[in-house]
C-alpha cells in the first residue's frame, strides 16, 4: 500500500508559518482579545460576578442552562448538566472569580501578544464551555477565531511581546536542557 505524504500547501504555509500573514493574525488577535477584555471588565464591575454578590450571575446563567437539558435534541447534554450541578454550582462564587479574571487575562494577553497560543487555547476552551452550557451568542465565532490564532501561534504573536519573549524562553530552555 502506498502512502501519500502531505507536505502542506502554499496557502497553509503562508497562513500558519509565514510572518507576512502576521498582520492578519494581529487584527484577529486584537478583535478576539478586545472581546474577552470587555466581557471580563463588564463582569468585574458587576457585583453579581465580582464582589459582594459574586456567584449570583453565574448561578442564574447556569440554572437557565439546566432548563435546556430536555427534549429529543437538548441544547445542554446530560453529562454537562451533571458537571454544572455537581462541580460548578456548589462553588459558583469561586467559578465567578475564575471566569472573570480568566477573561481579563486572556484578553490582555491576546491584545499584547503574550503567550498568544496559550491565551487563545484557554479562550477557546472557555468558549467551548459556554457553548456546552447552551449559550451560542458570539461564542462560535470567537471559538473558531481563537482556534485559528492557536494554530498560528508561531506568527500570531509576531507583532507583540511574543516576538521578543518566545526566543528568550526558547534560549533559556535550551540552556537548561543541555
For residues 18-28, give the mean pLDDT. 93
pLDDT at 69: 94
Tens of pLDDT, residues 136-145: 899 999 999 9
- Answer yes or no: is pLDDT of 169 > 70: yes
pLDDT at 18 over 50: yes
User: What is the average pLDDT across 40-50?
Assistant: 96
Indicate if the pLDDT at residue 114 is higher than 90.
yes
Asked whether the CA dihedral 155, 161, 167, 172 is positive or negative, the reply is: negative
Q: How many CA atoms lie within 13 A of 90 on its CB side?
A: 5
Spell out the domain ranges in the chain.
21-177
**Better-predicted residue by pLDDT, 76 or 178:** 76
For residues 109 and 86, what is the distance between their CA atoms, to the nearest angstrom? 31
Of 94, 83, 106, the closest CA to residue 58 belongs to 94
Q: What is the pLDDT of residues 149-166, one digit of tens each?
A: 999 998 999 999 998 988
Find out whether 36 and 123 touch, Cβ atoms under 8 Å. yes
Average pLDDT, the chain: 91
Asked whether residue 64 carries a pLDDT value surpassing 90, the answer given is: yes
Band of pLDDT at residue 5, cut at 50, 70 and 90: very low
Amino acid at each position: 500500500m502506498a502512502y501519500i505524504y502531505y507536505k502542506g500547501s502554499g496557502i497553509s504555509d503562508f497562513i500558519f508559518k509565514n510572518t507576512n500573514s502576521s498582520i492578519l493574525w494581529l487584527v484577529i488577535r486584537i478583535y478576539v482579545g478586545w472581546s474577552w477584555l470587555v466581557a471580563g471588565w463588564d463582569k468585574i464591575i458587576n457585583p453579581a460576578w465580582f464582589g459582594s454578590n459574586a456567584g449570583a450571575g453565574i448561578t442564574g446563567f447556569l440554572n437557565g442552562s439546566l432548563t435546556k437539558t430536555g427534549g429529543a435534541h437538548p441544547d445542554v447534554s446530560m453529562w454537562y448538566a451533571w458537571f454544572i450541578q455537581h462541580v460548578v454550582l456548589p462553588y459558583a462564587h469561586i467559578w465567578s472569580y475564575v471566569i472573570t479574571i480568566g477573561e481579563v487575562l486572556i484578553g490582555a494577553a491576546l491584545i499584547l501578544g503574550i503567550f498568544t497560543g496559550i491565551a487563545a487555547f484557554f479562550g477557546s476552551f472557555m468558549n467551548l464551555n459556554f457553548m456546552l452550557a447552551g449559550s451560542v451568542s458570539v461564542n462560535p465565532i470567537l471559538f473558531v477565531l481563537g482556534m485559528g490564532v492557536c494554530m498560528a501561534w508561531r506568527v500570531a504573536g509576531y507583532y507583540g511581546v511574543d516576538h521578543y519573549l518566545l526566543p528568550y524562553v526558547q534560549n533559556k530552555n535550551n540552556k537548561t536542557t543541555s
